[in-house]
Amino acid sequence: MRYILKYVLSLVFFITLFNSSVFAQGGYISLYQAGLNITLQDGKIPYKNDNKTTDVTGFVTFTKNIPDSLECNVSAIFVHRSTTGTETTISDSIRVSDTEFRTSISVPKNFTFKLQPNKKAGQVILRFKYYKKNYPNTTNGWSSMESGKTWQTVEIDTIPPASFNGPSQICGEGIYTITNPGTITLENASGIATLTSLGNNQWKVTRIGNAVGTVYLRSTSSGKIYNKSIQINSDMKGTITGSSSIKQGLSGTITFTPDPGTNYTNLSWVVDAGAHTSLQIDPYNLKITIPANYPLYDTYNGDDVYVTVKGYGECGLMEKTHILRILPRQPSPHPQQ
């Protein structure tokens, strides 16, 4: 009997020591997981600072560090703390009953919290408390509120836009530096150009063979899209003005005006037409004279011919073309329909 009593006292001491060790390791109840059904911006909750509420949904679970014989009831809320420290409750109470702890982890509980118009900057804090009943070394009742998790908020309209530094036209390749880049892609580029990342916020656009077209260097960030238009060709930069049409037996002048900052040398002109007389007045002006008997295929509407100015620039030999219509001096009768 003496040995049995000694054994029982030892067992009681061991159980007491075990329980004290378990509860000394930390809180009785703690947050296990809090998931938000939104895409965070660098770990922050994004919002637009408009006159509408921002609703955020998700789920939360808790874990217990108590024996299954003890009840476990949890109450949680979401609080918004402004940049000045003012706190406001922004959700309904989230309740987890003892029967909702399958094992040591509770079932997921859905929630919605609301960021109020023009009061969204600051922090969102998940706080919870639990009811203690017959917990060792405590009195019965609700615990004080504990902070489970905290998120910063960020206004997505303040995310700086991407800016591009590089040529708007390339004949072979171009290097582009992008400030505040998001996800960088090259759009409308199939068969025209390729994109290579060089690191340090630099990308290279390379022309494919002699392909021509307009591609778009694109930065996508937080749903916003920023584009830079890039012309892939060897056209001279500038405008051709002057005569758009000349009648048989008359003359006209065509002028090429380079864009500011461009420099072309050895300019010359080519007129893709039959019998005519052209005189290059100076590098940028061409006078064209059409004979009275110039042969026309379309004696009613006239014929289109191409007038091209050529010169050496950043792409080597470059050119730009103008369409000129040669009109009949006296139109023939309108063709029968």
pTM over 0.85: no
255 shares its domain with 147: no
216 shares its domain with 273: no
- The domain that holds 217 is classified in CATH as 2.60.40
pLDDT at 18 over 60: no
244 shares its domain with 197: no
Q: Which two tokens stand for residue 313?
A: 């620039």
119 shares its domain with 179: no
* Mean pLDDT calculated for residue range 114-135: 92
**What is the domain count for the chain?**
3
Q: From residue 334, how far is each of 3, 69, 249, 295, 327 by CA, in Å?
A: 130, 104, 21, 18, 14
| Rounded Cα distance, 190 and 216, in Å | 11
Per-residue pLDDT tens digits for 279-297: 889 999 999 999 999 999 8
* Mean pLDDT calculated for residue range 101-128: 92
| 327, 245 contact by CB (below 8 A) | yes
Q: Is 170 contained in some domain? A: yes
Last residue of a domain, one of 123, 157, 191: 157
Helices (H), 32-168: none
Share of the chain above pLDDT 90, in %: 61
Last residue of a domain, one of 157, 178, 198: 157
197 shares its domain with 268: no
Burial of 68 (0-12, 13-18, 19+ CB in 10 A): exposed
| Rounded Cα distance, 198 and 220, in Å | 18
Q: Is 13 contained in some domain? A: no
